[in-house]
């Protein structure tokens, strides 16, 4: 059976990890009862600051492991939401090391590999946190490579972070389909020359009209439809 576009012109499918394969809010959700009514706001603040720190460091020409930024962002989130007991901090960090994969992820990866496509992660996450997350989600055997931006010393959307995928996989960038739930990441992938597919799980409005995705899907299994 022919593959749907853009898979029909691809040799590899590369995924962002956090928010795309792994539910970044599942760490807080596991402890929502202990956190109380600020749980959702705490999770949003944590995620927003984590990403903000990565952008600011990249623009400044600095770098720190993503796990360090994750810890700093949680500290900021707890300070912003003083109604949350800060004693929950170690439990939340432990939960972040083993985030839940979205339910359709294993089946989608398996189907792509059966179709002869290589699969990989390209993530801002550092090597150690990605290894823990992929193992916890039982995804390791479904991926040909798990790539951290660590060797590039910068975060996406810097082009040299995206360079890691074609260099490691031995596939030209134009033969790589790249999926992310983050619209800014899709913009970076489009500028770089990947075929970007936006996983718009929560029906967010579009942005970056000059750097568009080639497809928009609601969940990963939509890629095969």
Q: Which residues are known to be catalytic?
A: 16
Q: Any bridge partners for residue 197, and if so which?
A: 179, 215
What one-character-per-residue DSSP string does 149-160 give? SGGGTS-TTSHH
Q: What are phi and psi of 12, to 5 degrees?
A: -145, 150
Q: Are 27 and 95 in contact (CB under 8 A)?
A: yes
Nearest Cα to Cα of residue 176 among 112, 118, 215: 118
SS3 label, residue 73: helix
Rounded-to-10 torsion of CA 19, 25, 27, 30: -140
146-169 exposure pattern, b = at least 16 Cβ within 10 A, e = fewer: bbbbbebebbbbbeebbbbbbebb
Residue 197 vs residues 43, 57, 106, 191: alpha-carbon distances, Å:
25, 26, 18, 13
Q: How far apart (Å, rounded) are the C-alpha atoms in residues 175 and 106?
A: 23
């Amino acid at each position: 059976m022919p593959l749907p576009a853009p898979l029909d012109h691809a040799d590899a499918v590369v995924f962002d990890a956090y928010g795309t394969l792994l539910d970044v809010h599942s760490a807080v959700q596991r402890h929502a009862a202990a956190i109380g009514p600020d749980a959702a706001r705490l999770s949003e603040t944590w995620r927003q600051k984590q990403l903000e720190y990565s952008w600011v460091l990249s623009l400044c020409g600095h770098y720190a492991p993503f796990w360090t930024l994750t810890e700093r962002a949680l500290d900021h989130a707890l300070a912003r939401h003083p109604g949350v007991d800060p004693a929950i901090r170690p439990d939340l960090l432990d939960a972040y090391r083993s985030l839940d994969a979205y339910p359709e992820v294993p089946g989608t990866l398996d189907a792509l590999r059966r179709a002869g496509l290589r699969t990989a992660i390209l993530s801002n996450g550092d090597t150690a946190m990605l290894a823990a997350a992929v193992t916890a989600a039982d995804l390791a055997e479904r991926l040909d490579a798990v790539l951290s931006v660590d060797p590039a010393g910068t975060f996406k959307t810097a082009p040299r972070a995206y360079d890691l995928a074609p260099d490691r996989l031995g596939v030209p960038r134009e033969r790589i389909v790249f999926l992310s739930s983050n619209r800014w990441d899709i913009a970076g992938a489009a500028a770089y020359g990947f075929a970007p597919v936006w996983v718009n799980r929560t029906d967010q409005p579009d942005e970056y009209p000059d750097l568009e995705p080639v497809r928009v899907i609601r969940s990963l299994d939509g890629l095969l439809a």
